[in-house]
Amino acid sequence: MAPPQRNIDAVTRYAPWFYLVACLLAYAPLIPQLGYYWDDWPIILFIHNKQWGQLLTHFSYDRPFSPWPFFIIGQLGTHPLVWHISALLMRWLGVLGLAWSLKPLWPTRPRFILYVALLFAVYPGYLAQPVSVTFATQLGAQIAFFVSLGAMARAASHPQRYWRYTALGLAAAVVHLFTMEYFAGLDLLRVLFLWLILRRPHSNDSFVRSAKRVAIQWAPYLLALAAWLVWRFWLLELPQEPYPLQLSRNPLRLIAQLAPGALRDFWHALAEAWARTLHTAYWPAWFIGGVSALSFAWLLSRHPKEGNTEPLHQAALLGVAAFFLGLLPIWITGNQANTSGYESRYLMAGLMGAALLVVWALTTLIRSTRWRAIALAVLLGLAVSSHIENAQGFRQDWQAQRSLYWQLHWRAPDIAPGTAIITPDRQTQWIGEPLLGAALNTLYPIRSAAPTADLWNLELRYSHTLDPILRGEGYDINYRGHVFHAEPGDLLLLRVGPEGSCLWTLDAYDQFNPYLTADERQVAAYSNHARILAQGSPPDSGIFGAEPPRGWCYYYQQAQLANQNGAPAAAVQALQAAERAGLQPALSIEWLPLVRAHAALGEWEPAAEASQRVLADGPQAGGMLCALWAGWPAPQAVYTDISQRAGCD
């Protein structure tokens, strides 16, 4: 058996690359096909337009010091690949930080630290890694926290370097606290951390003497935490408290209030998150997970063995404390980590504790180093597969978003400033009101000076969207310092059709559209196509990607635009080109532009033939056909035939 020091050096030498391999396997495979989601869009909008002041204003509403990662990474551009690679590297740095912070605590247990850090790197249940822009701040704060914790531990273990490490630890503590509050609860873990470190060389000291040593070492960090608390709750003036505390003044009532949610999150992290890894349905995820498991089983089995293989019972205590202290700020603001994919971001603060507990359980239940390594490799493979499947969902969401943006560009090369874009609901799982508005202001060239937005998105499911339309009112919006004004009638109603059909720009005839909801049909006539401008520049391919293949929806949107611009012959040509390419609509109602174009040209027989195509899926679209033909000077015989086919009254 190699001397212990050789083993420790070997672990130190190769462990960072093990962590990087784990991160690459879990998060890199689908990176080239990922894009932007949810809160990413305002940040990308401001960086794309060099509105750095507006970016600061946006975050002044809740976390005024949090945008620093956006300024740093934003210098590299707005290509999605830049941000996803940055997020992966920041995740890796966080893993290195965790391992660095644990080393002074367990200097002779590098294998245990390696296992904890590997599991921490890919722990399942945290599903927000593909939201690469937004969570740069959380990842940055996490790195700073671990640097601070590790520096504090080294200051306690190496008194001769106390001031050097304390200065680093305090600086990093200030960064993580004032960036955002995610790891403020973990800051309380310092007491237990110091106790375990300082108690080891002074095991014969009394409790009081040991407590004094801990208090002296903790005092600078306690002052930093106190300063942050005073700033956050008494000095910082916010327009509205985004995370109101949900605290009872009665301690017993507070425990009873928080305990059920805390235990649900604990169960979710240690059981449900792992159980869900067994239900992965995306076969490439299983393949990559299997390769990961085999690779780590081989690597870790070949790893030099430690002399001390006893379970680290300290890890159980530290793991429980880290989990519950980490998520404490989440619970006291009335939030939970197990409710949805987006709320899984809260689990980030509990990953350290969860990884410690799982590895402690492995070392307790499996005494063989080789079988323990194999068991860990299996867990790593399952975790990797779950992250690949999660990324697949985000990849599909980005495809749906790109289809939406490019179809809108084909249909509306430009949109007049001051236009409210009304959609019925969230357009994809990861884009909706008001953040779709930020995406649209990125899609089209910005013309208004900050803080004015040219376009805004509102969803029809909300009364604050529907009621002003029915009352003939405009919109005045101030969202985190971004202002928007639309006059009455300056709106455009969009709807992604069902069953894989195209993006629809609604008009008055859609009040008879059977595929719309009652609210959509009620307001369809308010959609003002005059807000669509015929000329415009193409989307930034560095953000939205290259133009997708020109399928049916491209020709459909071109025909719609041509009809609007009074060029029916161009509309006919566009749809004839689609036919020659063998393209067909998902719903026959999308032949309506061809009906309109032939009617505008006075070609009544072709218009009647196109109307029969509209009815190919059944008489559902008959109401729209009836309304259209009723307003046209068609020959009576043709009109009568279409009326009978469409079921007109």
Give the model confidence (pLDDT) of 433-490 as tens digits.
999 999 999 999 999 998 999 999 999 999 999 999 999 999 999 999 899 999 999 9
- Residue 199 lies inside a defined structural domain of this protein: yes
What is the pLDDT at residue 106?
92
State residue 210's pLDDT score.
84
**Domain final residue, candidates 338, 359, 393:** 393
Domain coverage including residue 29: 4-33+79-236+252-393
| Statement: residue 2 has pLDDT above 90 | no
Per-residue pLDDT at 22 exceeds 50: yes
pLDDT of residue 70: 97
Q: How confident is the model at residue 647 (pLDDT cuts 50, 70, 90)?
A: confident
When pLDDT is averaged across residues 202-213 and rounded to a whole number, the result is 80
- Does 303 score more than 80 pLDDT? no
Residue 201: per-residue pLDDT = 67
Look over the chain and give the mean of its residue pLDDT values, rounded to a whole number: 92
Number of separate domains in the chain: 2
Beta strands in 379-502 (DSSP E): 414-415, 419-423, 455-459, 475-479, 482-486, 491-496
CATH number of the domain where residue 588 is located? 1.25.40
What percent of the chain clears pLDDT 70, i.e. is strictly above it? 96
In a domain, 407, yes or no: no
pLDDT in tens, 244-285: 776 667 777 878 888 999 999 999 999 999 999 999 889 999
Domain for residue 508, yes or no? no
Last residue of a domain, one of 393, 424, 456: 393
In a domain, 644, yes or no: yes
pLDDT value for 593:
97
Q: How confident is the model at residue 368 (pLDDT cuts 50, 70, 90)?
A: confident
- 308 within some domain: yes
pLDDT range class, residue 304, cuts 50, 70, 90: low
Between 304 and 441, the higher pLDDT residue: 441
pLDDT for 582 beyond 80: yes
d(CA 138, CA 179): 8
> CA-to-CA distance for 30 and 80, rounded, in angstroms?
12
CA-to-CA distance for 542 and 534, rounded, in angstroms?
23
pLDDT for 383-400, tens place per residue? 999 999 999 999 999 999
Q: Does residue 388 belong to any structural domain of this protein?
A: yes
Amino acid at residue number 395: R
On whether the CB atoms of residues 484 and 453 are closer than 8 A, the answer is yes
Which of the residue ranges 62-71, 88-97, 335-344, 596-605 would you say has the lowest mean pLDDT? Answer: 335-344
pLDDT of residue 9: 47
User: Of the candidates 338, 361, 393, which is a domain's last residue?
Assistant: 393
Task: Quote the CA–CA distance of 299 and 293 in Å, as a whole number.
Answer: 10
| 60 belongs to a structural domain | no
pLDDT for the residue numbered 507: 94
User: If you count them, how many residues does the chain have?
Assistant: 649
Establish if 401 belongs to a structural domain.
no
